[in-house]
Amino acid sequence: MLGLVEITPWHWAGFILAVIFFIALDLGLFHRGSSVIKFKEAIVWSTIWFTLALAFAGLMLYWRGHEEAVQFVTGYLIELSLSLDNLLVIAVIFSTFRVPAEFQYRVLVWGILGALVMRGAMIIGGAALIQRFEWVLYFFGAFLVFAGIKMLFAGKDHVEPEKNLVVRLARKLFPVAPALAGNKFLTRFNGKNALTPLALVLLVIETTDLLFAVDSVPAVFSVTRNAFIVFTSNVFAILGLRSLYFLLAGALGLFRYLKIGLSIVLVFIGGKMLLDPHETAAKWYQLEISTGVSLLVVAAIISISIALSVTAARREKEFAK
């Protein structure tokens, strides 16, 4: 690396266009119709997206140096970890609406497109807010600690579509067909254009992701204030969610200790934001935690929670014999 490459609007545009191209290629070539994603295919696509994320980390290392490459990997791991909880909720949503397996991939793709737009807006807004009011970082930190504690004592995931404000508003503004119309979001009902139940599922997933983004976006800002790193790490994690869902769909219920692990991660990240040195903080109040240490801590917490979950499930299976 000869020198740091300045991130320009062209880098943003190039990255966004590349994402749009891959999604269009996915929808237009690999998954044009409705199909059930098999386990082997999910492994292949999960590996592809993970490899692309690591390749991008390599580019960051070449362009921007070791520190920002580690920041990207840490942000990616944090976002991917928090997204695991999102997968649990998505599984509940599909089950509640009884969405056939062959339609689930299409819903996830369009849900992810909406998530990219919403998170992009939140990241740009958050970066501008932090740049102008640095004390907002303390608010983010306190909020993440609160969210982590709340998650620790929260009950099981459940979905109540009739209480979803967006779904209720959609039902008031548009007619809704009583049955699915294949994998379509719009259909004709009583001579009028109408939403299908699949469109309501998409709305629930979008609003759910927005709630998760309220936690995950500030969490990545604990690693870096660079909006480009925050955005790209979020995008890679979100793009890998589709295949990761089908890879883990049959085993999501086994991750019983995942919520505990994620709650600890949120509390750790929030605490890091509260204690890390900022210009507005008193020196005695500062405790610097490097990005490398953060990466190791988050990876260890998630690994331990998953390992304990798998071990507990195996023991129960052995006792049941």
DSSP 28: I
In a domain, 274, yes or no: no
DSSP 254: G
In a domain, 320, yes or no: no
- Smallest Cα–Cα separation from 309: which of 244, 242, 261? 261
In a domain, 170, yes or no: yes
Question: What are the start-end ranges of the H helices in 65-135?
Answer: 66-97, 101-132
- Smallest Cα–Cα separation from 185: which of 266, 260, 113? 113
**């998630």: which residue's tokens?**
302
In a domain, 95, yes or no: yes
pLDDT at 73: 93
**């480009």: which residue's tokens?**
228
Domain count, the chain: 1
Q: Are 124 and 227 in contact (CB under 8 A)?
A: yes
In a domain, 107, yes or no: yes
Name 188's bridge partners: 193
In a domain, 194, yes or no: yes
> Is 194 exposed, middle or buried, given 0-12, 13-18 or 19+ CB atoms closer than 10 A?
middle
pLDDT at 233: 92
Please list the pLDDT of the chain residue by residue as tens digits (321 residues). 445 788 888 989 999 898 888 777 766 666 555 566 777 888 888 888 899 999 999 999 988 888 899 999 999 998 888 887 778 778 878 888 888 888 888 888 888 888 888 888 888 888 888 888 877 888 888 888 888 888 888 766 566 666 778 888 888 888 888 888 878 888 888 778 888 888 888 888 888 888 777 878 888 888 888 889 999 999 998 888 877 887 776 666 667 788 888 888 888 888 888 876 554 444 445 566 777 888 888 889 888 988 888 888 778 777 766
Q: What is the token pair recorded at 112?
A: 């992810």
pLDDT at 8: 87
pLDDT at 161: 64
In a domain, 291, yes or no: no
What is the span of the domain harbouring residue 169?
A: 9-147+158-250
Q: Are 257 and 312 in contact (CB under 8 A)?
A: yes
The CA distance from 92 to 172, in Å, is 24
- Smallest Cα–Cα separation from 244: which of 29, 44, 21? 44
The three-state (H, E, C) secondary structure of 215-236, written as one string: HHHHHHHCCCCCHHHHHHHHHH
CB atoms within 10 A of CB 184: 14
Q: Are 70 and 292 in contact (CB under 8 A)?
A: yes
In a domain, 238, yes or no: yes
- Smallest Cα–Cα separation from 195: which of 205, 203, 182, 185? 185
pLDDT at 179: 83
pTM beyond 0.85: the answer is no
> Is 252 exposed, middle or buried, given 0-12, 13-18 or 19+ CB atoms closer than 10 A?
middle
